[in-house]
Structure 1
Amino acid sequence: MTTTRTAFITGITGQDGSYLAELLLAKGYRVHGLIRRASTFNTARIEHLYQDRHEDPQLFLHYGDLVDSSRLVTLLSKIAPDEVYHLGAQSHVRVSFDEPEFTGDTTGLGTIRLLEAIRMIGLDTRFYQASSSEMFGATPPPQDEATPFHPRSPYGAAKVYGYWAARNYREAYGMYAVNGILFNHESPRRGETFVTRKIARAAARISAGVQDHLYLGNLDAVRDWGYAPEYVEGMWRMLQADRPNDYVLATGTAYTVRDFVDLTFAHAGLDPDRYLRFDERYLRPSEVDALIGDASKARDALGWTPRTFTPELARVMYDAELLALDSPIPLSAA
């Protein structure tokens, strides 16, 4: 007789959280998610997962916040999860320059609050910390697990704090804590203010005649873009390993923002130069020129390899946006 495993996910309503919840439920997990109380519904990405939960309850949502230590202690004591996936954060890099203190409190200190809650109650669990390629910042590519950090934003700095917090709790207390250093990973569920989703959405709307221009900032930034559902599988694999370790997940390919525009608009049959406009408001005070990951360690130790690359990703995201224009269902829930 097998025992049902229980997982706790912070950031369950986000892109990664929704795909991870799907994956874990398909594997037979009981899934608990942390959500923030808001005056409007913010669960569109997981609506399809819990609408029938009363018949077979395997998904449970709990109000709470990463700045509330006592609530985290209470929830973890009650749920006693076998695995904790810490995905919650203020995750927009440009916004972190506008709200650096809030970003540090949620993205950085939120990690310590979770780790300390686990330690205080003596919870025997496996902990996943969502680290980020933004921690590398100005360090030249390719970047792997041994590459020095040089963050170029409050978000990147907060993620470095969370990374070392997880490492410290692993080394000081023997906790099973891993860092997944994920490079950019996208999907139709990406937030509308993130550049890939913004590009895909604009191309679809321009094609449909409901938008005139696409406004962007730095077109020369080089990124390593993968597909989010594949990356959450990598998260799960990290917590199944015999020993905790840190892993980069990336495709190892390099494309500029301009490349993503060209790929998307070509798929739409549009000339991007007719619609593309520059807006300096989208520039960061300090830019990250190039992030290109080396995921050899994850391939060798976990058997994880990416299957979807930037050209196909651009097509997938555009097609989803075009379909959503004719659909009453929010794209984030598709």
Structure 2
Amino acid sequence: MPASNLITGITGQDGSLIAKRLLEQGQRVTGLFRRSSADNFWRLKEMGILDKLTLLEADIESFGELGNILENGKFDKIFHLAGSSFTAESFRKPWQTFSLNTFAVFHILEAVRLKSPHTHLTIAGSSEVFGEFESSDVDLIRDSSSRFGPINPYGLSHLSNLQIMNYYRELYSLRIACPIMFNHESEYRGEQFLTKKLSSGVVRILENSDYSIVLGNLNAMKDWGSAKEFIEFLYLASENSFDGSFVLGTGHLTSVREIVSRVFEYVGIEIESIGDGLEEKILNRENGRVLISLDSRNLRVKETPPFKADRIECKNIFGDAPSKSVLDIIPDMVEFDLRKGR
């Protein structure tokens, strides 16, 4: 009988991508969604899989609901990908971020312990667990054994999740894979994220002579990769019942400024920069039109240092590691938004 999978956060970028991957392998997929995300099935529709899976409305913060679903479902694997995932928002709503991200993990693990202890879990982690660093730490390369020190509420919630997972592994022998994921993008990214703001924004610029994009820090650097590539390693971790944590990233840093250049280069617009700091503007070199301006409201309270993943850890476990840069997937993102006419 095909393996049975439960996915929380199935309407999001990662949830829909892993659902598609599992269905391609002939496996059964059940997805949980919140009532507030019921109108957010566009990814599943776009991938052509909405009618190929089972959807259940559920509150992942309700232990009772999760317990009933696990008892009735007999799932071989669970992918917990739901939660608050926008780091900047966590500064404005710290308690909500911590509550949603951490209590849900507690409830899922306790429900699995009591109702389905044979089930393998894959619980998404975040590189935001890394924060503070020593002055001697010059390379800023991170793996799952590196020092943690989150500097935002989102990272703090994920550090708590790592500790909760260790507790359930050690006391109850639950099998839990935790990919500590660096930024990963695709055409299915949400509108609030920088890469999507740029790919959809450049389409609006092409359609509307008055539109411009507002950003924060053009010099911020991150390890940005491909969500589709990352999903392959979540799939491998689950198929191999991997138990433990590992970092998932490209090992390469890309700046916001580089992404901006790539987006406009792809649509044939030459750009130039004028001004300094928050007064800097990105202009269309041909006609002087302002394409991008900056606003302090788009700055984080504290910027995470430019950490990058140690690819060796992932290669040692799976024989390979993510390698595709965000600059490689910008064309796919822009083409998607051009087709959608956003």
The TM-score with structure 2 as length reference comes to 0.89
Match of 2:25 among 27, 30, 40: 27
Q: Which amino acid aligns with 2:84?
A: Q
Q: Does 1:118 align with 2:134?
A: no
Match of 1:161 in 2: 160
Match of 2:93 among 84, 95, 99: 99
Kindly state the Cα deviation for residue 138 of structure 1 after the two structures are TM-superposed: 3.2
Q: Percent identity?
A: 32
Q: Which amino acid aligns with 1:103?
A: T
CA distance in 2, matches of 1:99, 1:240: 36
Kindly state the Cα deviation for residue 233 of structure 1 after the two structures are TM-superposed: 1.1
The TM-score with structure 1 as length reference comes to 0.91
CA distance in 2, matches of 1:127, 1:26: 20
Q: Report matched runs for 1:1-334 at 5 Å.
A: 3-38=1-36, 41-47=39-45, 48-53=47-52, 59-139=53-133, 141-209=140-208, 212-241=211-240, 243-270=242-269, 271=271, 273-274=282-283, 275-325=291-341
CA distance in 1, matches of 2:51, 2:80: 25
- RMSD between superposed Cα atoms in Å: 1.7
Kindly state the Cα deviation for residue 289 of structure 1 after the two structures are TM-superposed: 2.8
Of 222-231 and 33-42, more deviation after overlay is shown by 33-42
Of 23-32 and 96-105, more deviation after overlay is shown by 96-105
CA distance in 1, matches of 2:93, 2:210: 30
Kindly state the Cα deviation for residue 70 of structure 1 after the two structures are TM-superposed: 0.5
Match of 1:56 in 2: none
Of 120-129 and 171-180, more deviation after overlay is shown by 120-129
Relative distance call for 1:65 and 1:304 in structure 2 (3 A) is: farther
CA distance in 1, matches of 2:87, 2:244: 26
Q: Which amino acid aligns with 2:64?
A: S
Q: Deviations over 1:76-114 (max 9, x none)?
A: 111121011010001111111111111111111111110
1:215–1:279: 8 Å Cα contact kept in structure 2? yes
1:108–1:162: 8 Å Cα contact kept in structure 2? yes
Q: Deviations over 1:25-60 (max 9, x none)?
A: 01111101110113862211112544544xxxxx11
Secondary structure of the equivalent of 1:120? helix
Match of 1:329 in 2: none
Q: Deviations over 1:183-205 (max 9, x none)?
A: 11000110001011101111122
1:205–1:211: 8 Å Cα contact kept in structure 2? no
Count of residue correspondences = 319
1:166–1:178: 8 Å Cα contact kept in structure 2? no
Secondary structure of the equivalent of 1:246? strand
2:66–2:108: 8 Å Cα contact kept in structure 1? yes
Q: Which amino acid aligns with 2:304?
A: V
Kindly state the Cα deviation for residue 212 of structure 1 after the two structures are TM-superposed: 2.2
Match of 2:276 in 1: none
CA distance in 1, matches of 2:327, 2:49: 33
Give unmatched runs, 5+ long, in structure 2: 273-281, 284-290
2:117–2:174: 8 Å Cα contact kept in structure 1? no
1:202–1:211: 8 Å Cα contact kept in structure 2? no
Secondary structure of the equivalent of 2:308? coil
Relative distance call for 1:252 and 1:78 in structure 2 (3 A) is: same
Q: Which amino acid aligns with 1:46?
A: L
Secondary structure of the equivalent of 2:309? coil
Kindly state the Cα deviation for residue 242 of structure 1 after the two structures are TM-superposed: 5.5
Q: Deviations over 1:10-32 (max 9, x none)?
A: 00000000000000001111101
CA distance in 2, matches of 1:162, 1:284: 23
Q: Which amino acid aligns with 1:322?
A: L
Kindly state the Cα deviation for residue 64 of structure 1 after the two structures are TM-superposed: 0.6
